[in-house]
Structure 1
Amino acid sequence: MKFIEQLKEFLPEHRVLTGDSLKERYTHIWTMDQPLRAMCLVLPKTTEEVSKILKICNSNDIKVVVHGGLTNLVGGTETSGDEVVLSLERMNTIEEIDSESRCVTVQSGVILEHLHEAVDAQGLLFPLNFGARGSAQIGGIISSNAGGLRVLKYGMTRQLVLGLEAVLANGTVISSMKKIIKDNSGYDLKQLFIGSEGTLGIVTKAILKLEEAPSSRNAAFLAVNDYDSVMRLLKYFDQGLAGKLSGFELIWRNSYEQMTATSDAVRPPLPYNYEFYILIESLGSQLQQDQLEFQNLLEIVVEKEMVLDAVMAQSPSDVEWFFRIREDVNNLTDSMTHDQHFDISLPIPLIGPYIADCYEKLKTLKGVEQVYAFGHVADGNIHFMVGKENTEDELRLAINDIIYSDLKSIGGSVSAEHGIGLHKKPYLKISRTFEEIQLMKTLKTAMDPKGILNPGRIID
């Protein structure tokens, strides 16, 4: 093909994969047994190479699908065979850690866990954290505006991006690589690319905000039997810890039981007697003082009977054990014949009754085998995992209807942090008005008039 020969004029052959070379590739870490379907896969190392690739694809009307860590949960990395797949895995350089400005400059293929390790060695913290950190890449994290376990304290990815470089569909490089927090000089163009799932441009580089590494980390599991108690405890610990509360995770009873039933590594820190289990985390700078403060607050909620049971982590290994329970969702999916995932967002006071209603409806739906709920209750984000006996559309759509149908009336969202991709596109109108969607389409047409970038994602 002519355009492939054009790519090989500036990319070495081992970075333009075609034919049998694609058999070892895939579209998601959960589908490694299914070979990638694509016209070719390209492996750029620089922004300049990405620019040249997009110029060629745009001039030849070739669709481009971007691949990062391949942990996307909404079909964002799926292909049909008539696309160029642009993988950012070779763009994996941490270019600079600026400890004085407290920021780091990275290429988009840097893996989150590698970034954590690098800045930790400098006494700094990149606070974004979630279960897929060992494979998720910075470009995909930015493009999906990822959240995770510490949004309560540090915000979503959007709050952590200082500067950004991205390449438009026609190869134009948009670069605003600044280390400053405040910049009110016109439109903040980087925000167009954060959360746009690669549909407006391909993120190639970023400057990310860092924090001083905390010297203390405390965690505890609490147990209660009603959702009102969950809300009271959130307010209590947020106020009592005075800015140190970094995590407040809620796990429903049956989810907790399954999460801790598979091995000694994730044994239950509390017995299976309660309806809700809360995992709290605090980060601070005074090791002994923070531990004592955390312990005193726990003792008070026990004495006042605000909780039915509680256990505090006594060591760093205990903290890791507690969070391993929450993060290792494989303990849920391994029990399922087929699984369907959700990450909805809704007002915090409505979470308890909304999830209870979904549980009841799903349990009576023929074909549903398991229902598990857990999530970042402090920022209104609940994850659902539904185990089902088949993958037929009728069952899939019925499950979707139960979980999504009432979100619009309460001001919720079908996606809290995973994005829209291909899978949630029919439900975008639940979260966005007609006028908002039309404006999205206007932006897409203006920035990618031929529609080659991640086509079909979010909007048509």
Structure 2
Amino acid sequence: MDGIIEQLKDLLPHARLFMGDSLKERYSHIWRMNESLKAMCLLLPESTEEVSKILKICHQHDQPVVVHGGLTNLVGGTESKGHEVVISLERMNAIEEIDESSRTATVQSGVILEHLHQSVEKKGLLFPLNFGARGSAQIGGIISSNAGGLRVLKYGMTRQLVLGIEAVMADGTIINSMKKIIKDNSGYDLKQLFIGSEGTLGIVSRAVLRLQEAPSSRNAAYLAVNDYESVVTLLKYFDQGLAGKLSGFELIWKNTYEQMTATSEAVRPPLQYDYEFYILVETLGSQPKTDQAEFQEMLENAIINEMALDAVMAQSPSDVDWFFRIREDVNNLTDFMTHDQHFDISMPVALIGSYIQSCYDRLEHIEGIEQIYAFGHVADGNIHFMIGKENQSDALRLKINDVIYGGLEAIGGSVSAEHGIGIDKKAYLKISRTAQEIQLMKTLKLAIDPKGILNPNRIFD
């Protein structure tokens, strides 16, 4: 250990190397800021070259490395036990270029998503990836986990928004594929190795991201129905009728909606608590007046034709913000839980209603569960569960896991729609992947990181 530390001290100035007592103010997750980081040391590189030099030293000494981004990971991906070198990319936070002609942004991995949103907006452009943790999530972590969010329906997952990547391999080799082009069939698409691999194959240091022209209109509405079949009907109705403008279609179960809107005036309910399901619909377009009129007409027709029981449309940008604040601020759920357990499962859209209802029914009979909340991105088959429980025992945790995950294999679902596998879901990977797929993943890991030093024991052992 002394040899590694001395080499790292020679590489980085004192202010960017934390050890011992200086780690007390650092943490491994944004929700665990009261727990000090456990690590051999924490390093803050400021360039790809520094990351490369750090990894060369760690590779030489077979030293495990854990990578930190915005620390919003929900599957244990940023945890460390004390013997690892932790590399935080927070200092690599430059937006190097916004190219308006090619509609791309070249960024370092430590750039915070919300900062990117603000920067491209000034150029009349949009980076469409959007979710509640945008104020702290960093691009490197977003890419490494292939994050999803609220607009996957229209724009796809992170992997659809990445054109080029620079990544550092376990031995310090820098792979530079920072291209701005959309179409490139010249052999293997190597950037896809790093997107969604949770930092196990390489550390993403820079990226070229695909931008869109910023919409000039944004509309939103809440609709209410009493059965899941109506949810699917409305999804097809809006997707067909809005001719590509539908950008979000979020579903909130009744008890979740009640809790989300019961805590303060800022998140008061747009619709009364009279229905089983609440749907948040968002549209993005280019003609403010006609887009609003079109959307309003579709809402009215949905009521007239009894596809929806009730609806309310946002009348201003502040209304739109209010509508989305209800959906995004999950603290309105977790703040009232003794302990919480999170899930991000996915399945065919048609099966969501019955599957989630069966989970509710079974969870309600488990002693120790205090709250059950479901909501999610129904248009892409991704539903989130948040379970409040009275203790953190393994027995209770496993009972809950068995309910949520138990039926997914039979219906072709996944234990992770967007959060990844990390440490927490390793035992359940076999539900979503065949033995042959898992073996191929292990083969790739062994070939690219033969010493197993990068984010070890993530995804599989």
* 1:9 to partner: Cα distance: 1.5
Name the structure 1 match of 2:35.
34
Supply the distance in 2 between the matched residues of 1:185 and 1:280 (Cα, whole angstroms): 39
Supply the distance in 2 between the matched residues of 1:164 and 1:369 (Cα, whole angstroms): 44
Look up the SS of the partner of 2:256 in the other structure: helix
Query: What is the TM-score when the length of structure 1 is the normalising length?
Result: 1.00
Supply the distance in 2 between the matched residues of 1:330 and 1:124 (Cα, whole angstroms): 30
* 1:291 to partner: Cα distance: 0.4
CA deviations over 1:81-107 (Å, ceiling 9, x no partner): 000000000000000000000000000
Name the structure 1 match of 2:61.
60
Name the structure 2 match of 1:403.
404
Name the structure 2 match of 1:46.
47
Supply the distance in 2 between the matched residues of 1:337 and 1:322 (Cα, whole angstroms): 27
- Structure 1: which 4+ aligned runs deviate by more than 2 Å? none
* 1:5 to partner: Cα distance: 1.1
Supply the distance in 2 between the matched residues of 1:329 and 1:296 (Cα, whole angstroms): 31
Supply the distance in 1 between the matched residues of 2:308 and 2:287 (Cα, whole angstroms): 26
Amino acid at match of 2:270: P
Residue 235 (structure 2) pairs with residue 234 (structure 1) = yes
Supply the distance in 2 between the matched residues of 1:23 and 1:118 (Cα, whole angstroms): 33
Supply the distance in 1 between the matched residues of 2:71 and 2:126 (Cα, whole angstroms): 24
* 1:2 to partner: Cα distance: 1.2
* 1:10 to partner: Cα distance: 2.2
Name the structure 1 match of 2:292.
291
Amino acid at match of 2:331: N
Supply the distance in 2 between the matched residues of 1:385 and 1:73 (Cα, whole angstroms): 12
Name the structure 2 match of 1:79.
80
Name the structure 1 match of 2:4.
3
CA deviations over 1:114-171 (Å, ceiling 9, x no partner): 0000000000000000000000000000000000000000000000000000000000
Alignment of 1:160-199 (within 5 A): 160-199=161-200
Name the structure 2 match of 1:205.
206
Name the structure 1 match of 2:394.
393
Look up the SS of the partner of 1:9 in the other structure: helix
Supply the distance in 2 between the matched residues of 1:320 and 1:409 (Cα, whole angstroms): 39
Supply the distance in 2 between the matched residues of 1:5 and 1:17 (Cα, whole angstroms): 13
Supply the distance in 1 between the matched residues of 2:300 and 2:428 (Cα, whole angstroms): 45
Name the structure 1 match of 2:419.
418
Supply the distance in 1 between the matched residues of 2:243 and 2:319 (Cα, whole angstroms): 24
Supply the distance in 1 between the matched residues of 2:165 and 2:80 (Cα, whole angstroms): 27
Supply the distance in 1 between the matched residues of 2:173 and 2:460 (Cα, whole angstroms): 22
Amino acid at match of 1:296: E
Name the structure 1 match of 2:455.
454
Name the structure 2 match of 1:125.
126
Supply the distance in 1 between the matched residues of 2:307 and 2:140 (Cα, whole angstroms): 42
Q: What is the aligned residue count? A: 460
Look up the SS of the partner of 2:422 in the other structure: coil
* 1:27 to partner: Cα distance: 0.4
CA deviations over 1:10-62 (Å, ceiling 9, x no partner): 21111111111101000001111111110000000000000000000010111
Supply the distance in 2 between the matched residues of 1:51 and 1:417 (Cα, whole angstroms): 28
Amino acid at match of 1:210: L
Alignment of 1:77-116 (within 5 A): 77-116=78-117
Amino acid at match of 2:176: S
Supply the distance in 1 between the matched residues of 2:195 and 2:87 (Cα, whole angstroms): 18
Name the structure 2 match of 1:359.
360
CA deviations over 1:166-187 (Å, ceiling 9, x no partner): 0000000011000000000000
Name the structure 2 match of 1:439.
440
Supply the distance in 1 between the matched residues of 2:300 and 2:367 (Cα, whole angstroms): 45
Name the structure 2 match of 1:350.
351
Supply the distance in 2 between the matched residues of 1:273 and 1:296 (Cα, whole angstroms): 24
Name the structure 2 match of 1:272.
273
Amino acid at match of 2:56: K
Alignment of 1:207-226 (within 5 A): 207-226=208-227
Amino acid at match of 2:80: T
* 1:233 to partner: Cα distance: 0.2
Identical amino acids, percent of aligned pairs: 77
Supply the distance in 1 between the matched residues of 2:77 and 2:16 (Cα, whole angstroms): 22
Supply the distance in 2 between the matched residues of 1:6 and 1:302 (Cα, whole angstroms): 69
Alignment of 1:311-326 (within 5 A): 311-326=312-327
Supply the distance in 2 between the matched residues of 1:24 and 1:182 (Cα, whole angstroms): 45
Query: Which shifted more, 91-100 or 7-16?
Result: 7-16
Name the structure 2 match of 1:250.
251
Look up the SS of the partner of 1:359 in the other structure: helix
CA deviations over 1:50-83 (Å, ceiling 9, x no partner): 0000000010111000001000000000010000
Supply the distance in 2 between the matched residues of 1:419 and 1:410 (Cα, whole angstroms): 20
Structure 2 residue runs without a partner (length 5+): none
* 1:229 to partner: Cα distance: 0.2
Look up the SS of the partner of 1:23 in the other structure: helix
CA deviations over 1:284-307 (Å, ceiling 9, x no partner): 000101001000101101111111
* 1:320 to partner: Cα distance: 0.2
Supply the distance in 2 between the matched residues of 1:378 and 1:437 (Cα, whole angstroms): 28
CA deviations over 1:307-343 (Å, ceiling 9, x no partner): 1100000000000000000000000001111100000
Supply the distance in 1 between the matched residues of 2:424 and 2:354 (Cα, whole angstroms): 26
Look up the SS of the partner of 1:132 in the other structure: helix
Supply the distance in 1 between the matched residues of 2:300 and 2:265 (Cα, whole angstroms): 28
Let me know the Cα RMSD of the aligned residues: 0.4
Supply the distance in 1 between the matched residues of 2:379 and 2:174 (Cα, whole angstroms): 38
Supply the distance in 2 between the matched residues of 1:171 and 1:208 (Cα, whole angstroms): 24
Look up the SS of the partner of 1:459 in the other structure: coil
